[in-house]
């Protein structure tokens, strides 16, 4: 058991029968009254963010979480299949636990947060950007590079991304997985 003086960003705690990660915190000592710690907590299982205030000295139940490298193998009706790159153990993760899973391609190595005591996956940490090949888009017209107009393009994972007019089939692009937006064209 830890106390509120042990609170730091990234610490995972048990709170209200769920596991939360501390996003930000602030120790407050008002001129009158008791000190307290104002926190912003993010649920590791659902992704919901909530504000919570702990009184100073309050006992908190910390959870040991480990970040491990997993390789994405394939997906089927049971979920997404990943393999631990060190132990070669496989784990199946439900689609709800992965934000922007449409950008995952077979062979990608990603981080998965694992509960250290019971070895259960908590959250899939997607990379910020991925490099994907454009499999279908309308052909660009010569000279259409001056405007900021975007057109739809399908990438190798099946996801649709809005790209500039000069992008053609076979081009390799960098995509932001948080927003699903085009970043830049990548040279091979």
Q: What is the pLDDT of residues 62-118, one digit of tens each?
A: 998 888 999 999 999 999 999 999 999 999 998 888 888 899 989 999 998 888 888
Boundary-marking domain end, from 16, 39, 62: 62
Tell me the per-residue pLDDT of 123-132, one tens digit each, with 9 for 90 and over: 888 888 999 9
Domain count, the chain: 3
Report the alpha-carbon distance of residue 69 to residue 115 in Å, rounded. Answer: 14
Verdict on whether the full-model pTM lies above 0.85: no
Average pLDDT, the chain: 88
Boundary-marking domain end, from 125, 156, 173: 125
Same domain, 144 and 177: yes
**pLDDT band of 145, cuts 50, 70, 90:** low
Same domain, 102 and 114: yes
Query: Residue 79: which CATH number?
Result: 2.40.50.140
Q: Which residues contact 178 (CB under 8 A, 6 or more apart)?
A: 99, 100, 128
**pLDDT band of 44, cuts 50, 70, 90:** confident
65 SS3 class: strand
Tokens of 89: 């153990």
Range of the domain at 147: 129-186
Same domain, 136 and 117: no
**Residue 95, pLDDT score:** 84
Same domain, 136 and 178: yes
């Amino acid at each position: 058991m830890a106390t509120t003086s042990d609170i730091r960003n990234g610490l995972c705690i048990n709170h209200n029968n769920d596991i939360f990660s501390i996003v930000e915190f602030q120790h407050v000592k008002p001129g009158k009254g008791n000190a307290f710690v104002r926190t912003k907590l993010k649920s590791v299982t659902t992704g919901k963010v909530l504000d919570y205030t702990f009184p100073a000295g309050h006992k908190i139940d910390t959870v040991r979480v480990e970040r491990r490298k997993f390789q994405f193998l394939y997906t089927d009706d049971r979920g997404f299949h990943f393999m631990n790159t060190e132990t070669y153990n496989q784990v199946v993760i439900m689609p709800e636990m992965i934000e922007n899973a449409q950008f995952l391609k077979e062979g990608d190595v990603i981080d998965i947060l694992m509960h250290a005591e019971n070895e259960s996956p908590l959250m899939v940490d997607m990379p910020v950007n991925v490099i994907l090949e454009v499999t279908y888009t309308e052909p660009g017209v010569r000279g259409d590079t001056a405007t900021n107009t975007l057109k739809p393009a399908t990438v190798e994972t099946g996801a649709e991304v809005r790209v500039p007019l000069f992008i053609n089939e076979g081009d390799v692009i960098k995509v932001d997985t948080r927003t699903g937006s085009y970043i830049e064209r990548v040279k091979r």
